[in-house]
Structure formats: C-alpha cells, structure tokens
C-alpha cells in the first residue's frame, strides 16, 4: 500500500473524528495492527480496504484515488445525516399530530362535562 493511501485513510478517519481504537475495534484488529495500516507499513488486502471504506462510509475509490480527483467526504456523510434528520422530523410530526388530535378530543369531552354541570337545575 502506498503511503498516500495510508495518509488518505488517516485524513478521512480524522475528519470523521474517529480514533484509531474505534477503527481497530470496528475492523476487529488490534490498535497496533490498525496503526500499521495508517503508517503504510502493512499490506492492505482488498477485503480490509473494503472494510475500512465501509467503516469510514466512503467509496473504496476515494481511498485509492490519486492526483487531482478527490472525493468530498463530507457530502456522503452529510446526506446521510440530513436524511436521518428528515426521518426524525417526519416521525415526530406524525406523533405531534396524534397528540394534538388526542388533546382536542379530551378538550371536547371536558367542555361537554362543564356544560352538563353548569346546565344542571
């Protein structure tokens, strides 16, 4: 593995605010073994490279890319976050609508009760 690839992995990891220990645990490696990947002192198998890409949530090509082509690592990650936020918003919106409907029903019952009590002879 080239040192450029190793440095790219490190850069993406740091951008994600992941520790080497997190990466090692995610890949079922020792921290020392993972450190050797980022230092470029160990050979990287295709399977290991795919595992790293998966944990970092980037395409393998972005780790291997050279020259002027760079993958914007924030776009893919940010799109997932935005999608998650939108899903939470929709779920909370539905829950809020149900709560409002329930409160309206309870309010109607209370109003009928108050009317009944105030109209008693």
Q: Is residue 26 part of a domain?
A: yes
Any domain includes 15: yes
3-state SS string for the chain: CCHHHHHHHHHHHHHCCCCHHHHHHHCCCCHHHHHHHHHCCCCCCHHHHHHHHHHHCCCHHHHHCCCCCCCCHHHHHHHHHHHHHHHHHHHHHHHHHHHHHHHHHHHHHHHHHHHHHHCCC
In a domain, 16, yes or no: yes
| The pLDDT of residue 26 is above 90 | yes
pTM, whole model, 2 decimals?
0.55
pLDDT (tens digit, 9 = 90+) per residue, 45-64?
A: 899 999 999 999 999 988 88
Q: Is residue 7 part of a domain?
A: yes
Q: How many domains does the chain have?
A: 1
60-115 confidence digits (pLDDT tens)? 988 887 544 444 555 566 666 777 777 788 888 888 899 999 999 999 999 999 99
In a domain, residue 52? The reply is yes
Structural domain of 19: 3-71
What's the pLDDT score for residue 4?
A: 87
The CATH number assigned to the domain holding 18 equals: 1.10.260.40
């Amino acid at each position: 593995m080239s040192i450029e690839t190793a440095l790219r992995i490190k850069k993406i990891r740091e951008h994600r605010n992941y520790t080497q220990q997190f990466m090692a645990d995610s890949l079922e490696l020792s921290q020392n073994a993972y450190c050797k990947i980022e230092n470029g002192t160990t050979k990287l198998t295709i399977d290991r490279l795919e595992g790293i890409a998966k944990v970092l949530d980037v395409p393998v090509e972005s780790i291997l890319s050279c020259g002027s082509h760079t993958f914007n690592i924030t776009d893919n990650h940010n799109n997932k976050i935005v999608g998650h936020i939108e899903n939470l918003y929709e779920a909370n919106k539905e829950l809020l609508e149900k709560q409002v409907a329930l409160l309206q029903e309870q309010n109607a019952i209370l109003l009928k009760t108050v009317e009944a009590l105030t109209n008693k002879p």
